[in-house]
Structure formats: structure tokens, C-alpha cells
């Protein structure tokens, strides 16, 4: 519209035709109908305070005013109401004046709430009562507002470690509603803890905390004198630009941005609860046909048990061991290189594929191969499967053995006895289920718009891009985002619960283990006898009563799944605003 028409920053609750939803600055001129109405209303509740002497006869600047019973001074932080906004805006009053038409105006420098700038926070994690001071060049640093839009005073403490800032005492900090320690630069769009010298023509010292010694009145006088020059500037500025309409967008453009970190209501907890109650029993059908082979393997078993103690002994003594030829060198000789997928397929068909899990997370494929060669004296080719989620405590690997017998033997042994790996993790093995990655499987989220392609009669190529906020695809993307976040939460809940149960059990093994290690280490250094077995039985007797504990843990374990699911509910409440 033309410059002569006035649109008011929609801070005033007046429904009229000219109020636009975007904050457009007013140069107060040709009094608006709505404005004069308001002026009359508030004449009674508004009263100016101390006046600042300036040259300008048209614009009267003040240091304070009383509005609706509350006295406001310069440098006060105020809550401002904006129509349609969910929350009040917070700004710091740096100037206040009355124009020649009688309209009361103030200039505020904005504080951003964390939600306003959540897209630009990057790694910074703000607190709930933290604000960011606007700075830099650009829109959103400050605005001129009608003073009637103020709804209350706000106590904002500045905790910035700047030499120009006086730090507040603890009691003052406790009284504060919010605190500020960083600025948000609207030009660079980033958080910084370095305060510039001037923010929007205001010296930054004035934006910091007040020295608590001087009552506000005195300080004002002093700053008034020194900043008198600045105050003088202001009136001339407004006089100069009466016909221009400055468009200063309030922090609205930040608030309207999409927030991928949507406040996900954690109503998924009941669903997660339901999931865990219905549990599937794993079916290890491999067990059946292995039983027949057990009898034939009995001799091997004994062979292995005899080997076990010396194996342990070797680990205890700090003797330089001659490792068996490392598996990696071997594999080059006996396994001709096929691409892994084909290997796996073949292995699956031949029955030599085993899925090993409960590995330590730091184990690599080579480690696994080494472990298997040490424990079973068989060669194998392993590949570690990366874990799905960062909270998962279980490491998986696919192992291909040379022959089916090897595979069956290993599985049988691991079932009957426990091979403990790393820091107390007994390996579990099962027949691997191999699934060909199905390319034709409908990937959820795939929307094929073939009809579009036909219509345009050319190869419509969908480029990869970031979705803009006003498109249909954006809405869909947001839904997916929400689902992704939700799923992250429920996976996290599951894994954390599992990790807790797991570590509890693991501690028990480790406890026993270290006890044994300590005692048997002493034994071994004293006497280099290989008759460890009688010594071990002596050590074990005191630990026998501890066998009660595993039973108790069994009870705890079964009731475990319920509790971790409840925990996320309380943990996630802060996200619900």
C-alpha cells in the first residue's frame, strides 16, 4: 500500500482492516482511527515520568513512565503482547518518547527465546529460562513499539562473562525470570558469547546489568547525560524519515520456521508398553538336528575342557605369547575372494552361516575370527554387522565356516557351555537367516508419481533438496520426521532398558571373574604347577552361596521390560510445553 497509509505493528488488540499480520513499522503520521481510540482509552492509565531534555520540540523523550500501575524505566525488560503469538515477546526498552501526535512509542531490543532460534542453535543446548540477545545487522534486532503493548515487567539477568558486565549476586540471579549469556546475530544466524560494542546504535554497556549499588534514578541521570547525544539523534532520525516505511520484521520469520524437533508428545509409551508385553519366542530349530551329532562330538568336548585351563593360564601370565598365525593371513590362502554377498548366500545354502551375537561393541571382524580360532581351533570368515542404533549394547557378526560340521560344532558348543568374550559376554550363536535385500519391496515413503511423468512427457527428474516450508511435500516430510523422532525415542527406551539389565548381569560375571583372577594369579606366581583344578575348587566354594543371586536376577529381569518403558514418560515431560 502507499506510504501514506499506516499499518500498525500488530501488538494492539484492535481488529481493524489495516492491521497486517507482518510487523510493519509505523511512522506516526496521519493518526489512525484505531490508534486514537486506544490513546483515549489509555490516557488514564498511562502517565509519563521523568523527561529528558532534548532539542527537538516535536518529540518528547522520557526516561520512565507509568502504565497500568507499573512504573517502567529505560533499560527495563518488558513483556510485549503480539496478536496471534503463543507467547509474549521479551524486549529491553532502550528509548521511549511521545510523538507530536501524542502516540507513545518505545524502542526495544529483542531477546530471542530458544524456540525462536532453534534451527540455528547447532550444538548449543539452551536452558528453559535462557534468552538470547539480538545483535548484528538485519531484521529482528529491534523494533519500535507502541508502549501500550507492554503487558508487564520482566526480570532478565545478564550472566555474560564480559568485562563490561557487572555480575549479579546469587540472590539477584534467583529472582530473575530469565537469564542471558549469549547473543544471537541475526546477520550470521548464529549464537555467540562475544558481545559487540554497539547493538543497533545502542552501546552494549547499557544492555548489560545495572550496577546494583546505584538506584536506577542516579544511573539514569549519568547515562542520560552521556547518552544524551544518542538520544538527540533519535528524534532527528524520525523527523527525517517520515515518509518512509521501514519494514522491520519482528522475530516472526524465525517463529514461523519449521521445527523438525517438533515437540513430540511421548504418547508412544503406551504403544511401546504394548509391544513389549507380547513377546515372540525365538525358535532355534537348529537345536534339533544337532542333538544327534552331540554324541559324536563328546570326545571333542573333553578335548576342549582340558585345553581351557591352560588357555586361561596363558592369559594371566604376562608372557609374550606366540600368537597363532593371524587369521587374516590364513584367509587369503584358503578362501578365494568372492564378493561378500555371494559368499553369504552360498554359506547359507550350505549351512555354514552362523549368526553370532553378544559381541563386545569394539570387536572387529578380525577380532572375531581370532576369537573363533582360539576357542574352537577352526578357521572362519567373519563380518561384523553394524548396530542399528547408537544405544544398542549388542554386537553382531556373521560368520562363515569352512564346513557345515564346523558350524554345527561351534553352535552346539556355544549352546552347551559358555564362551565368555571380552569383559564377560557369553557368545550366543544361531543359524543365520539370510534375506536377500529385496529391491522390489515397497519402501514406505516411496510415492511414485508416474502419472506426472507421463503428463509432462519428459523425464521428470526429482532433484534432492531441502523441503521448503510452504510445499505439500514439506508437510509429508514433517510427518515422517515426527515418526522418525518417535521411533528414535522408543528404540532408545528399549535399548536403555536392555542395557541396564545386561550390565546388571554382566557385573556379576565380572565380579566372579576378577575374584578368580586375583586368587588364581596369586596361586600361579607362587607355584608354577599346572594343577590348577584343585586350586580352583577351593576358590569356588566361597562363591557358591552367590548362586542365589542369579535366581533373583531372573525375577528382576522378567519384570524389567515394564519399568524402562515408564521411565521415558517422566524423562520426556520437559518436551511438552
Partner 1 sequence: MGSEDEQKYAAFMEKVKRTMYLDNISPQVTDAVIKTAFEQYGTVTNIHFIPNYIEPNYSGKCALVELENEKQAKSIIEVLSSYPFMMSGMPRPVRGRHAEPEMFDDCPPKPGRKIQVFWVDPKDPQFEVAQKLKNLTKKHVAEQSFLQKKQLEEEEKLSKQQAETLKGHYEKFEMMDSILCDGTSKRLSRFYGVNLNDD
**What is the separation of C-alpha 148 from the centre of its chain, rounded to a whole number of angstroms?**
39
The dihedral of CA 559, 565, 569, 572: what is its sign?
positive
Binders of partner 1 in range 65-84 (CB under 8 A): none
Stretch that binds partner 1, among 29-37, 224-232, 239-247, 470-478 (CB under 8 A): 470-478
Between residues 117 and 183, which has the closer beta carbon with respect to partner 1? 117
In the complex, least distance from residue 561 CB atom to partner 1, rounded to whole angstroms: 7
Name which position in 13, 198, 247, 311 contacts partner 1 (CB under 8 A).
311
Q: Is 508 in the site for partner 1 (CB under 8 A)?
A: yes
What residues from 141 to 200 belong to the interface with partner 1 (CB under 8 A)? none
* Site for partner 1 contains 308 (CB under 8 A): yes
Q: Which of residues 74-133 bind partner 1 (CB under 8 A)?
A: 119, 122
Q: Return the HEC string of 353-401.
A: EEEEEEECCCCCHHHHHHHHHHHHCCCEEEEEECCCCCCCCCEEEEEEE
Comparing CA positions, the residue from 84, 101, 78, 123 lying closest to residue 31 is 101
d(CA 435, CA 385): 14
Binding piece for partner 1, criterion CB under 8 A, among 61-69, 146-154, 181-189, 391-399: 391-399
203 sits near partner 1 (criterion: CB under 8 A):
no
Going from the C-alpha of 1 to that of each of 6, 13, 245, 493, the distances in angstroms are 9, 22, 10, 55
Q: Closest separation between CB of residue 569 and partner 1, Å?
A: 17
Angle among Cα 354, 357, 359 to the nearest 5 degrees reads 130
Q: Which stretch binds partner 1 (CB under 8 A): 98-106, 144-152, 200-208, 497-505?
A: 497-505
Q: Identify which range of 39-47, 90-98, 246-254, 306-314 contacts partner 1 by CB under 8 A.
A: 306-314
The rounded radius of gyration (Å) of the Cα atoms in the chain is 36
Of 143, 230, 160, 156, nearest in space to 195 by CA? 160
Query: Is 472 among the residues that bind partner 1 (CB under 8 A)?
Result: yes
Residues of span 341-370 touching partner 1 by CB under 8 A: 341, 344, 355, 357-358, 361-362, 364-367, 370
Interacting positions 16-75 with partner 1 (CB under 8 A): none
By CB under 8 A, name the one of 546, 562, 563, 570 that touches partner 1: 546
Nearer residue to partner 1 within complex by CB, 37 or 508: 508
Determine which helix (DSSP H) or strand (DSSP E) holds 103, and give its type and residue range: none
Residue (212 or 518) nearer to partner 1, CB? 518
Residues touching partner 1, count (CB under 8 A): 115
Q: For residues 493 and 568, is the Cβ–Cβ distance under 8 A?
A: yes
Please report, as residue ranges, which positions from 395 to 434 form the binding site for partner 1 (by CB under 8 A): 395-396, 398, 416-422, 424-426, 428, 432-434
If one asks whether residue 302 binds partner 1 (CB under 8 A), the answer comes out as no
Cα(94)–Cα(79) distance, integer angstroms:
14
Window contacting partner 1 (CB under 8 A); options: 32-40, 68-76, 189-197, 383-391: 383-391
Q: How far is the CB of 476 from partner 1 (least distance, A)?
A: 4
Q: Is 286 in the site for partner 1 (CB under 8 A)?
A: no
Q: Does 295 sit near partner 1 (CB under 8 A)?
A: no
Residue 383 backbone dihedrals phi, psi, to 5 degrees: -145, 130
Q: Rounded to the nearest 5°, which phi and psi values hold at 20? A: -95, 160
Q: C-alpha 141: how far from its chain's center? A: 28
**Residue 480 CB, nearest distance to partner 1 (Å)?**
5
Strand 156-158 and strand 178-185: pairing?
A: parallel
For residue 156, the SS3 value is strand
**Is residue 451 at the binding interface for partner 1, with CB under 8 A as the rule?**
yes
Report whether 231 contacts 220 (CB < 8 A).
no
Q: How far apart are CA 106 and CA 112, in angstroms?
A: 18
**Smallest gap, in angstroms, from Cβ of residue 247 to partner 1?**
23
CB of 355 to partner 1, least distance (A): 6
343 in the Ramachandran plot: left (φ > 0), alpha (ψ -120 to 50) or beta?
alpha
Q: Which of 16, 20, 129, 305 binds partner 1 (CB under 8 A)?
A: 305
Amino acid at each position: 500500500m502507499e506510504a501514506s497509509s499506516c499499518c500498525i505493528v500488530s501488538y494492539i488488540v484492535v481488529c481493524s482492516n489495516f492491521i497486517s499480520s507482518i510487523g510493519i513499522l509505523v511512522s506516526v503520521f496521519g493518526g489512525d482511527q484505531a490508534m486514537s481510540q486506544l490513546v483515549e482509552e489509555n490516557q488514564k492509565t498511562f502517565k509519563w515520568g521523568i523527561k529528558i531534555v532534548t532539542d527537538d520540540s516535536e518529540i518528547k523523550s522520557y526516561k520512565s513512565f507509568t502504565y497500568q500501575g507499573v512504573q517502567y524505566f529505560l533499560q527495563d525488560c518488558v513483556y510485549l503482547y503480539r496478536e496471534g503469538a503463543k507467547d509474549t515477546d521479551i524486549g529491553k526498552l532502550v528509548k521511549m518518547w511521545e510523538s507530536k501526535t501524542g502516540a507513545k512509542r518505545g524502542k526495544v531490543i529483542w531477546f530471542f527465546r530458544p524456540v525462536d532460534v532453534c534451527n540455528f542453535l547447532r550444538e548449543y543446548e539452551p536452558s528453559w529460562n535462557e534468552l538470547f540477545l539480538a545483535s548484528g545487522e538485519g531484521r529482528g534486532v529491534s523494533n519500535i513499539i507502541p508502549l501500550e503493548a507492554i503487558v508487564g515487567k520482566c526480570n532478565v539477568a545478564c550472566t555474560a562473562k564480559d568485562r563490561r558486565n557487572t555480575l549479579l549476586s546469587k540472590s539477584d540471579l534467583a529472582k530473575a525470570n530469565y537469564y542471558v549469556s549469549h547473543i544471537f546475530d541475526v546477520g550470521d544466524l548464529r549464537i555467540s558469547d562475544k558481545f559487540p560494542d554497539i547493538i543497533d546504535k545502542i552501546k552494549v554497556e547499557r544492555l548489560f546489568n545495572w550496577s546494583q549499588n546505584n538506584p536506577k534514578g542516579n544511573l539514569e541521570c549519568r547515562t542520560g547525560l552521556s547518552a544524551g547525544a544518542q538520544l538527540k539523534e533519535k528524534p532527528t532520525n524520525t523527523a527525517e524519515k517520515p515518509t518512509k516505511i521501514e519494514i522491520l520484521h519482528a522475530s516472526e520469520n524465525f517463529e514461523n520456521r519449521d521445527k523438525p524437533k517438533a515437540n513430540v508428545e511421548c504418547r508412544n509409551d503406551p504403544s511401546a508398553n504394548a509391544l513389549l508385553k507380547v513377546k515372540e519366542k525365538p525358535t532355534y530349530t537348529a537345536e534339533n538336528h544337532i542333538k544327534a551329532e552331540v554324541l559324536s562330538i563328546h570326545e571333542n568336548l573333553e578335548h576342549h575342557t582340558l585345553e581351557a585351563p591352560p588357555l586361561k593360564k596363558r592369559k594371566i601370565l604376562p608372557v609374550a605369547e606366540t600368537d597363532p598365525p593371524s587369521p587374516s593371513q590364513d584367509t587369503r590362502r584358503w578362501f578365494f575372494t568372492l564378493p561378500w554377498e555371494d559368499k553369504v548366500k552360498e554359506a547359507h545354502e550350505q549351512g555354514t552361516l552362523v549368526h553370532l551375537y553378544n559381541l563386545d561393541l569394539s570387536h572387529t571382524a578380525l577380532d572375531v575370527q581370532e576369537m573363533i580360532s582360539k576357542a574352537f581351533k577352526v578357521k572362519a570368515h567373519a563380518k561384523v554387522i553394524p548396530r542399528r542404533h547408537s544405544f544398542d549394547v549388542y554386537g553382531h557378526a556373521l560368520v562363515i565356516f569352512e564346513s557345515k560340521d564346523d558350524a554345527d560344532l561351534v553352535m552346539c558348543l556355544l549352546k552347551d557351555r559358555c564362551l565368555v568374550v571380552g569383559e564377560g559376554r557369553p557368545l550366543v550363536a544361531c543359524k543365520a537367516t539370510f534375506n536377500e535385500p529385496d529391491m522390489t519391496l515397497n519402501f514406505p515413503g516411496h510415492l511414485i508419481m508416474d502419472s506426472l511423468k507421463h503428463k509432462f512427457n519428459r523425464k521428470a527428474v526429482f532433484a534432492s533438496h531441502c523441503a521448503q516450508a510452504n510445499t505439500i511435500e514439506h508437510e509429508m516430510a514433517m510427518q515422517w520426521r515426527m515418526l522418525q523422532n518417535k521411533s528414535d525415542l522408543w528404540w532408545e527406551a528399549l535399548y536403555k532398558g536392555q542395557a541396564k539389565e545386561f550390565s546388571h548381569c554382566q557385573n556379576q560375571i565380572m565380579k566372579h571373574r576378577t575374584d578368580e583372577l586375583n586368587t588364581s594369579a596369586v596361586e600361579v606366581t607362587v607355584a608354577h604347577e599346572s594343577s590348577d583344578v584343585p586350586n580352583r575348587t577351593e576358590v569356588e566354594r566361597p562363591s557358591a552361596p552367590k548362586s542365589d543371586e542369579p535366581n533373583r536376577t531372573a525375577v528382576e529381569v522378567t519384570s524389567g521390560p515394564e519399568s524402562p518403558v515408564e521411565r521415558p514418560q517422566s524423562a520426556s515431560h520437559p518436551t511438552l510445553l
